[in-house]
Structure formats: structure tokens, C-alpha cells
Amino acid sequence: MTRFVLTAALIVVTSSLATAGEHGFVNLFNGKDLEGWSQRNGTATYRVEGDSIVGKTSEGSPNSFLCTNKLYGDFELKFDVKVDRELNSGVQIRSQSVGDTPEGRVNGPQVEISLDGMAGYVYGESAGGWMTPDADRKPHQNFKDGEWNSYHVVAYGNTIQTWINGQQISDLTHEEKFQTHPKGFLGLQVHGIAKGTGPYEVRWRNLKLRDFSGFKTLYNGKDLTGWKTTGNWLVQEDRSLLIQPRPGEKGWQRYDAYLWSVKKYKDFVLDVEYSYPPGGNSGVYFRVGDRNDPVEKGIEAQVLDSSEKKEPLGQHDHGGIIRTAAPSKNMSRPPGEWNRMVVTCVGSHLQVELNGEQIIDTQLDQGAMKDRPLEGYIGFQDHGEPNNLRFRDIRILEITK
């Protein structure tokens, strides 16, 4: 299976999901006990202390893992972690046990937790060693000693992306491991320690996951079935989509050249990645009631190379909602890198997350957008020459009440 670099999906939100304001995440830890988790391997101990799960080493024990009873394939995971400086740890994803028994050796991808500069890279626990290539494992200082560190992991198809404290660490494509480990449990590792050392502890809190397993593809990576446009939107070999305005196609008011969904959406979480050139300009449109007049009949989240813009920012800067709200923080990545925007619309409540940080939280019925439709099309802007942008990983979580 190759990477779905431009996908969209539809899933019904059940009562077990977190509130829409949390972007459809569920809590993996109930804050009271270890219900939903089981230990595999080792004799390290796990306990609940306040709002945290605490793992404590046991001298002479091999690696221990507190694992979810539920299996996950494609998902987004967030958690905070703090570890004693002497201890190495990690979080297993898509992992398995030999023989599918508690005693069977845990194996699979592991997101590294450590103070040696390797935190956030991906290791194959009992599965071949480092998955992140040697050349890509550049030591860094994003993991803070003695502090809570926020991790963000997206596993989708054959890719695993990781961030620590808002900084992307890894964007790994590993087809071989995806074939052997497409789905599995999550596991909180307490690493074995040398004789005569310890005890040491590692703590996790705010463990939240959004399951992508219900996704349905709206873009097939081959053509624009499910979309409508007169623009020059070109499918790339890597299945991403390039907007390359034709010679002479200038300006942004050529609305039929935008890429429009055939279907309308009401309440949803929209998740999309894109890459702009220096000075690149585009937009993410949603709840557009009339595709011939999206500026007056819809809502736009700005896509713009604001990577060198100094704060404070305005409504027309990257991530801003035109005529409505300015981003609270500049989270723009440099030209040529991939940005990830998550837009959540539930009723009049609008939130925008850019590259892992929430930058917009507003009520649409209290401003210039109060008369806009509550349901409409999703679109991506063709801003005309020379704005060549690429889009990938478009996902929709439709929310029904």
C-alpha cells in the first residue's frame, strides 16, 4: 500500500468521542485507573498518580510495556511525557506481541523518548532497529530535561510523522514496516536497566487519540473524481496535487478555477497539508453556499507564505480567517516545507490549528461571518500565476449530532 498523500474521509462521531472542540480526540487514560490497558513483558510497575500514568523500573527486568487493549491503524496521537534523565523510554505504535500473548515479545514501531538527542525518531522495537535512517537522525535539543514534553504523532498509511513541543522531528515513509505492522496496540515503555541502578520513573499524561480508521477516499490519486474545477490541477507521481496556473491565468477572482468538492459539508474537522513556494498564496474555503461567489457566500482560511512575517499578525496572514480573525501566533513553515492545517466547524464555533498549534478560536455568529451558510462546499484556491502550490492528505471528519 502506498502513501495516501491526498485523501479525504467521512466518519460519524459517536458519543464516545471527545467534544468537537478537541477535534474528535478520545482520552486513552480515564484519569482514575488503568482500565483499557494491559501489561506485556517485564516486571516494571505502572500506577496512577494524579493525572498521570507513572512507570517505574524493576532491576533485572527486560523492557516492559503498558499496552492498549484496543488496536489502531491510522491515527493521530498526542501525549505529554517526563522522564528521569538516566532512563530511556518510548511509545509503541501499531505494535504486536509474538503469539499475541502477554508473554510474547512486543515488537513494532516505537517513538523514542530520551535525552540523547534522538527523541521523536522511530525505532523498530525487536523489529530491526532504527526505522529512521541514520542520515536523518540528526541530534536535537527539543526534548527538555526535567520538564513535560508534548508529543504529537500521525500514523497514516506507510508514513509516521512526529513532533516534540511543536517542532517536527520526523517525516518517515517505511513501506516494509507498514506491510508487517499496519495495525496494532499502543504501548508505554519502561526500559530495562543495568544491575545495581535505579529505580527510575517515566510519566505520561494527556494521552489523546483521534482514530482515522473510518476514512473514505474522495480523491483517488489518479484523477479529480469527486471534485469540480476548470483550473490546471495536476496529479503528481507521489499522488499529491499541484495547482499550476496556465500562462496568462492571473488573479484570484477566477472562481471556477478553484478546486471544489462535489459534496457539501456542515459540521466537520477538515485536515489538510500543503506546500507553497516563496511568497505563495492560496486559501482553504469551506461552507461555501455558492461556488460562483465564495468570497461573499463562504469562509476562507488564508494560505500564505508568512514565514518571515513578524507578529502581530492580521486576518490576511497565514491561518487567518478573512474578515474575521487573525492568527494568534505565526506557525508558518518555510517555503517548500509541508504545512498542516486543521479546521473545526461545529455550529458557529470555528477553530483553526496550524502545524500543531491552535491559532484561531472564534464564534462565527458574532462577527462578519454571521450571515454565512452553515453548510457548503470545500474548496482550494487557484490564486493565479505564479502561485504553484501542492496539496496532500485532505481528510474530513464529519460531525453529526
Residue percentage of the chain with pLDDT more than 90: 82
The DSSP letter of residue 240 is: -
- Report, as an integer, the average pLDDT of 40-68: 96
pTM of the full structure: 0.81
In terms of pLDDT, which residue wins out, 20 or 201? 201
- Per-residue model confidence (pLDDT) at position 285: 98
Q: What is the mean pLDDT of the chain?
A: 91
Distance CA 70, CA 184 (A): 8
Cell of 280: 505563495
Residue 128 has which C-alpha cell? 530491526
Does residue 347 surpass a pLDDT of 80? yes
Residue 220 burial (10 A CB sphere; 0-12, 13-18, 19+): middle
The H or E element that residue 296 is part of is helix 294-297
Partnered with residue 339 across adjacent β-strands are 274
Please write the tens of the pLDDT for every residue from 143-182: 999 999 999 999 988 999 999 998 899 999 999 999 999 9
62-100 per-position pLDDT tens digit:
999 999 999 999 999 999 999 999 999 999 999 999 998
Please report where in the chains the cell 471527545 appears, as a residue: 18
The pLDDT-based confidence of 4 (bands split at 50, 70, 90) is very low
Which CATH number does the domain 31-211 belong to among 2.60.120.560, 2.40.110.10, 1.20.1530.20, 3.40.50.2300?
2.60.120.560
Q: What is the per-residue pLDDT for 216?
A: 66
Residue 82, CA atoms < 13 Å, CB-side half-sphere = 11
Torsion of CA 149, 215, 23, 323, to 10 degrees: 120
Cα 5 from Cα 28, distance rounded (Å): 27
Residue whose C-alpha cell reads 459540521 in the numeric block: 267
pLDDT in tens, 99-155: 988 889 999 999 999 999 999 999 999 999 999 999 999 999 999 999 999 999 999
Q: What is the DSSP letter of 176?
A: H
275-300 burial: b if 16+ Cβ within 10 Å, else e: bbeeebbbbbbbbbbebeebeebbbb
Residue 231, pLDDT above cutoff 70:
yes
What is residue 178's three-state secondary structure? helix
Q: Render pLDDT for 243-269 as a digit per residue (tens, 0 to 9).
A: 999 999 999 999 999 999 999 999 999
Q: What value does the mean pLDDT take over residues 201-221?
A: 85
The CATH architecture one would assign to domain 227-398 is: Sandwich (2.60)
Task: Please give the pLDDT value at position 262.
Answer: 97
Main-chain phi, psi angles of 182, to 5 degrees? -75, -20
For residue 395, is pLDDT > 90?
Answer: no
Residue ranges of the chain that CATH labels 2.60.120.560: 31-211, 227-398
pLDDT bracket for residue 357 (50, 70, 90): confident
For every residue of 190-228, DSSP letters joined together read: E----TT----EEEEEEEEEEE-TT---S--SSS-TTEE
- Do the beta carbons of residue 318 and residue 302 sit within 8 Å? yes
**Predicted pLDDT at 33:** 97
Residue 329 burial (10 A CB sphere; 0-12, 13-18, 19+): middle
What digits encode the pLDDT tens for the residues 9-40? 333 333 333 333 455 689 999 999 999 999 99
- Using the predicted structure, report yes or no on whether residue 226 has a pLDDT greater than 80: yes
Q: Binning pLDDT at 50, 70 and 90, where does residue 401 land?
A: low
Q: How is residue 297 annotated by DSSP? A: H
> According to the model, what pLDDT value does residue 195 have?
86
pLDDT given for residue 166 in this prediction: 86
Instruction: Cell 473524481: give the residue.
Output: 225
The answer to whether 328 and 340 have CB atoms below 8 angstroms apart is no
Percent of the chain scoring above 70 in pLDDT:
93
Phi, psi values for residue 98, rounded to 5°: -60, 125
